[in-house]
């Protein structure tokens, strides 16, 4: 059974201050992604690192606002390996300083994307829970893993209620092909989120990360590492 939505990571600033990292709230992730898209037109590692540094500065608005005002303040407090760790926890951007692969390629191959995700529709569904006064408050409250976990629980509860009411009428919803098809579409959409767009197949190992891995009893993020050997140009 899943016991956590995400893991809390810790880093130390150059002066020894310890701060905790969790996935970015959607409010900051929006700003992050807007800046991150600029990395696709960078011409060398230096330009790519400047873009990633700005992304890390945006992260600090959530994690440690005192050093989020300028890039200079960020550079005074974080070394490059720590910046890369921040980006990984915040938005799943994976860059290895020791790798010979260009920074741009590393970042774009692992980076998140809005392209395959109808965020407005997902937020609208969550908003119906009546917890938040407006969408801004929702985005300030939830990260993407939290939003997906919330919707997953909501949909499971809604389905169980419908199944109970249908059973009273003598109808078995589990035997209806439409319901299973809809569930498969939902699982595939979650796979796109958890794999950072690398797969849309819920049966793919790349989809088994975090809560999905815990539910399955194994997977990425559960003590089993992996190396993606597939050619990105042929991944759907």
204/153 same-domain check: yes
Q: Are residues 89 and 139 in the same domain?
A: no
Q: Is the domain of 184 the same as that of 104?
A: no
Model pLDDT, residue 193: 62
Three-state DSSP state, 114: coil
Domain termination site, one of 72, 92, 110:
110
Q: 0.85 exceeded by the pTM?
A: no
Provide the number of structural domains found in the chain. Answer: 2
In a domain? residue 175: yes
Number of residues that this document lists for the chain: 236
In a domain, 4, yes or no: no
Each residue of 127-166: pLDDT tens digit?
999 999 999 999 999 999 999 999 998 988 888 888 877 7
Q: When comparing pLDDT for 222 and 98, which is higher?
A: 98
* Selection from 66, 71, 107 nearest residue 90 by Cα: 107
Shared-domain flag, residues 129 and 214: yes
Asked, for residue 100, whether it belongs to a domain, the answer is yes
Both 94 and 127 in one domain: the answer is no
- Among 77, 110, 143, where does a domain finish? 110
- Decide if 206 contacts 199 (C-beta within 8 A): yes
Residues 157 and 217 in one domain: yes
Check whether 182 has a pLDDT greater than 50.
Answer: yes
Beta-carbon contacts of 215 under 8 Å, excluding residues fewer than 6 positions away, are 1, 2
Q: Are residues 186 and 230 in the same domain?
A: yes
Domain shared by 145 and 87, yes or no: no
Domain boundary among the residues 110, 139, 158 is at 110
In a domain, 180, yes or no: yes
Buried b (16+ CB within 10 A) or exposed e, 86-96: bbbbbbbbbbe
Q: Give residue 171's pLDDT band: very low, low, confident or very high (50, 70, 90).
A: confident
Q: Are residues 150 and 219 in the same domain?
A: yes
* Residue-range definition of the domain harbouring residue 156: 119-234
Does residue 95 fall inside a structural domain? yes
* pLDDT recorded at residue 172: 73
Q: What integer pLDDT is reported at residue 227 of this predicted model?
A: 46
């Amino acid at each position: 059974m899943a016991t956590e939505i995400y893991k809390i990571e810790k880093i130390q600033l150059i002066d020894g201050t310890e701060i905790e990292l969790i996935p970015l709230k959607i409010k900051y992730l929006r700003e992050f992604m807007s800046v991150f898209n600029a990395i696709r037109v960078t011409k060398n590692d230096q330009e790519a690192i400047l873009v990633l540094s700005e992304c890390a500065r945006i992260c600090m608005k959530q994690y440690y606002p005192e050093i989020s005002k300028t890039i200079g303040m960020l550079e005074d407090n974080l070394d490059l390996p720590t910046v890369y760790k921040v980006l990984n926890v915040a938005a799943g951007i994976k860059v290895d300083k020791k790798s010979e692969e260009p920074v741009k390629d590393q970042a774009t191959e692992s980076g998140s994307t809005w392209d395959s995700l109808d965020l407005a529709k997902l937020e609208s569904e969550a908003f119906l829970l009546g917890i938040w006064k407006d969408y801004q408050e929702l985005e300030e409250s939830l990260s993407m893993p939290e939003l997906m976990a919330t919707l997953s629980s909501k949909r499971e509860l809604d389905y169980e209620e419908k199944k109970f009411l249908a059973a009273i009428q003598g109808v078995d919803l589990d035997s209806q092909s439409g319901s299973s098809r809809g569930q498969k579409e939902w699982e595939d959409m979650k796979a796109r989120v958890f794999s950072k767009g690398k797969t849309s197949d819920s049966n793919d190992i790349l989809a088994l990360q975090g809560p999905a891995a815990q539910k399955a009893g194994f997977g990425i993020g559960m003590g089993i590492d992996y190396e993606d050997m597939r050619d990105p140009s042929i991944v759907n």
